[in-house]
Amino acid sequence: MKKIIIFLAVILFIIVILVIFLPFLLQGNNKKSIKQTVNQNNQPTNLSTGNSVQPTQTSLKVLENDSDFKVEYSPQGDQYVIIKKTPGSDQKINDWLIQNNLSSTKDKVQIIDQSEMAGNPEITIYPSGIILSPTKTADENAYDNNTKVLINLLSVLLNNSNETSITPSTSVSQPLTLTVTPTNKKNKKGSEQPAGKYVYYAQCGGEFDSYPLPSGCTICYAGCGPTTVSMIAASYIDKNITPKTIVDLYKQKGYLLGCAGSRASDAKSALSSYGVKTTDFMTFSYDTIDTAAKEFKNYVNNGWTIFILADFCDGGCGHFFWITEIGNNNDTWAYDPYYGRLQPPPYNEKSRYPFPKYRMAFGVKK
């Protein structure tokens, strides 16, 4: 009888996987990659003062790109976009403007400080609606909407094998809050996944993913910051706090929150307003976990968890998440609103090594 149950469970699991992933298999290569044209010798001499025209993705020309800042130009919009990557890049940006006879106040130059900003790790957005990677397709949205179904079915399979008990919340206000009571399971390298003990919210695939941000777009599109804040505040202060609660707080306080994401400093202020204890900022130079782990462990060993800003691709894909434990081999267990949404928390960020590359962090404690 047990063999029959296991066989039927496996068949059911395969059917669910096919239903969820079949649209992606059929689409094949429909997901277009973004190509940027690099042309160091095609810099314009006259800057338009007329209305801004949103440039196409393929029209962007990279004029400068180093570890501190990046300069792009759109011939169609006759517009410069300067992306500040690190807090100390102001002087280098100013020097570049002087060398090219440009002024950030008089000419059509826009500067965005991404040194402490992040949104969705798979989307990079600049001012005036310049988007350097495609928005989610209908099939990708359908994939996120099916996340809860997959989690429920996985819980049935796991329960049949007496390994893990997963209870998705039936509360309307907390659609993707998971209460996880596992026997610790070893990953491929032999370290144990800790039991989930905090409130988890998914950035996409739940009730709040389409909730609008104050300056445009939605929680799913660019809301990893307030979603991470909501997990911490709900776990430490009040379980009724949701991503919507935090987005409304950002709007009330005038914090930056829109298509370009949000700021680490505003997340810190929001948590402090709820009475969550926070430390000073830790800063990193796009370090891997091999370098950052020592400092993280010092905080975790003293009772802190850690709010993180890190990049998930070279030169961008900024993302916020919440580290709760550091395990053996520097396994980095986190409540990740985006990458962790397809499994019971916590999620091992080191599974994406050499990413994440850490930029900024601060400790949080009840």
Is pLDDT larger for residue 221 or for residue 48? Answer: 221
85 pLDDT above the threshold of 80? no
On whether the CB atoms of residues 329 and 349 are closer than 8 A, the answer is no
Q: Is residue 160 part of a domain?
A: no
The pLDDT of residue 18 is 65
| Total number of domains in the chain | 2
d(CA 90, CA 84): 8
Distances (CA, A) of 365 to 232, 248, 253, 279: 9, 23, 23, 9
Specify whether 113 is located in the same domain as 262.
Answer: no
- What is the DSSP track for 263-319? EHHHHHHHHHHTT-EEEEEEEEEEE-HHHHHHHHHHHHTTT-EEEEEEEEETTEEEE
Specify whether 69 is located in the same domain as 207.
Answer: no
Specify whether 224 is located in the same domain as 317.
Answer: yes
168 pLDDT above the threshold of 60? no
Would you state the torsion angle of the CA atoms of residues 93, 94, 95, 97, taken in this order, to the nearest 10 degrees? 90
288 pLDDT above the threshold of 70? yes
Specify whether 119 is located in the same domain as 213.
Answer: no
Is pLDDT larger for residue 118 or for residue 279? Answer: 279
Q: Is residue 45 part of a domain?
A: no
pLDDT, tens digit, 9 for 90 and up, residues 104-117: 666 678 776 666 77
pLDDT, tens digit, 9 for 90 and up, residues 220-243: 999 999 999 999 999 999 999 999
d(CA 113, CA 83): 6
The pLDDT of residue 348 is 97
Which tokens go with 242? Answer: 């949701």
Is pLDDT larger for residue 4 or for residue 123? Answer: 4
Least confident of 73-87, 184-198, 202-216, 316-330: 184-198
Q: Is residue 295 part of a domain?
A: yes
Task: Work out the percent of the chain whose per-residue pLDDT is above 70.
Answer: 63
Is pLDDT larger for residue 279 or for residue 17? Answer: 279
At residue 67, what is the residue type?
A: S
d(CA 217, CA 212): 6
**Average predicted confidence (pLDDT) for the chain:** 74
pLDDT, tens digit, 9 for 90 and up, residues 310-347: 999 887 889 999 999 999 899 999 999 999 999 999 99
Specify whether 216 is located in the same domain as 345.
Answer: yes
Q: Is residue 238 part of a domain?
A: yes
Specify whether 221 is located in the same domain as 360.
Answer: yes
Q: Is residue 271 part of a domain?
A: yes
Specify whether 97 is located in the same domain as 217.
Answer: no
Q: Is residue 124 part of a domain?
A: yes
CATH at 352: 3.90.70.10
Q: Is residue 147 part of a domain?
A: no
Specify whether 351 is located in the same domain as 255.
Answer: yes
Mean pLDDT of 170-199: 53
On whether the CB atoms of residues 318 and 365 are closer than 8 A, the answer is no
| Residue-range definition of the domain harbouring residue 81 | 59-131
The pLDDT of residue 232 is 98
Mean pLDDT of 113-133: 56
On whether the CB atoms of residues 320 and 267 are closer than 8 A, the answer is yes
The pLDDT of residue 40 is 35
Residue that finishes a domain, picked among 131, 155, 190: 131
Contacts of 107 (CB under 8 A, 6+ apart): 47, 80
Is pLDDT larger for residue 155 or for residue 230? Answer: 230
Q: Is residue 283 part of a domain?
A: yes
Task: Work out the percent of the chain whose per-residue pLDDT is above 90.
Answer: 43
Global pTM reads 0.60
pLDDT bin (cut points 50, 70, 90) of residue 121 is confident
Is pLDDT larger for residue 111 or for residue 148? Answer: 111
Specify whether 101 is located in the same domain as 205.
Answer: no
Mean pLDDT of 346-353: 96
The pLDDT of residue 160 is 43
The pLDDT of residue 14 is 76
At residue 287, what is the residue type?
A: D
